[in-house]
Amino acid sequence: MPDQRLFFALWPEAEVREALLQQLSVGPQVKGRRHNPNDLHMTLVFLGQLQGRKLACIEQAAESVSGQRFELSLDHTGYWPRPKIVWIAPQSTPEPLIQLVDGLKQQLAGCGFEPERRTYRPHVTLYRKAQRITPWQLAKPSQWPVKEFVLASSNNPAPNQSRYKILQRWPLA
Ligand code: ATP
Ligand code: MG
């Protein structure tokens, strides 16, 4: 699998995806590229490109993490100028989400992954390559009951195709 980047993420089910699309439809016009609905996700840990043999270690790491279910309230929007993305995010990060990310990082250290130094900032990208916008107020937050996490890969897709593929899923208790 050449040129394939891997990452752990939360992937919304159809209902949550619909809620996010609804938010988009009532949000402001944004000059940028909207994510394909199937591509909406929240990255947990980015792994990048890896050697084939590491995959077994990564799967083992995911297996070893004992995460709990939790509920996300995606309640505010924003813009980051460096990656040029418009996002929606929870104002407060639920404790089980922090534990899930920390747990994954701890396990992944055993596979040779350097832990990310930056603080984890959970968000769902809505637009890529976007021009600066002023964050907008949501009429009501989108609730997301999180029951699993996934390992996903990003490929370089043809236009209008999904950028990402879910490779494996792990349930939360
Ligand atoms: P592209 O880089 O081709 O424009 P992309 O950013 O969507 O597309 P990836 O770079 O493979 O694809 O990233 C996959 C996911 O991991 C995205 O959610 C991205 O925001 C996140 N990500 C990428 N690089 C990092 C990083 N260094 N640290 C944390 N998250 C990252
Ligand atoms: Mg990228």
Condensed to tens digits (0 to 9), the pLDDT of residues 4-53 reads 899 999 999 999 999 999 999 999 999 999 999 999 999 999 999 987 77
Cα of 28 vs centre of ligand 2, distance in Å, is 24
Map tokens 């009501």 to a residue: 140
Q: Residue with the nearest Cα to atom 28 of ligand 1?
A: 46
User: 83-87, 115-119, 154-158: which range is least confident on average?
Assistant: 154-158
Map tokens 């996002």 to a residue: 87
Using alpha carbons, select from 119, 125, 28 the residue that is nearest to residue 74. 125
Phi, psi at residue 48, to the nearest 5°? 85, -165
Cα of 80 vs centre of ligand 2, distance in Å, is 14
Cα of 81 vs centre of ligand 1, distance in Å, is 15
Ligand that lies nearest to the alpha carbon of residue 7, given by its number in the listed order: 1
Question: Does the CB atom of residue 7 touch ligand 1 within 6 A?
Answer: yes
Q: Which ligand 1 atom lies nearest to the CA of residue 39?
A: 7
List Cβ<8 Å contacts ≥24 apart for 114-123. Answer: 116/45, 116/46, 120/93, 121/89, 122/42, 122/72, 122/89, 122/90, 122/93, 122/97, 123/42, 123/78, 123/87, 123/88, 123/89
- On the question of pLDDT at 1 being above 80, the answer is no
Query: Can you say whether residue 76 is alpha, beta or left, with left for phi > 0 and alpha for psi between -120 and 50 degrees?
Result: beta
Q: Residue with the nearest Cα to atom 30 of ligand 1?
A: 46
Q: What's the mean per-residue pLDDT of the chain? A: 94
In sequence order, the 6+-apart residues with CB closer than 8 A to the CB of 171 are 147, 148
Render pLDDT for 144-168 as a digit per residue (tens, 0 to 9): 999 999 999 998 778 778 999 999 9
User: 70-84, 92-106, 109-123, 154-168: which range is least confident on average?
Assistant: 154-168
Q: Residue 9 has which token pair?
A: 């993420």
Residue 2: the pLDDT is 57
Cα of 167 vs centre of ligand 1, distance in Å, is 16
Residue 161: the pLDDT is 85
Residue 157: the pLDDT is 77
Helices 95-109, 54-64: axis angle to 10 degrees equals: 140
Q: Which domains does the chain have, with CATH numbers?
A: 4-171 (3.90.1140.10)
- On the question of pLDDT at 63 being above 90, the answer is yes
- For residue 42, the cross-strand partners are 10, 124
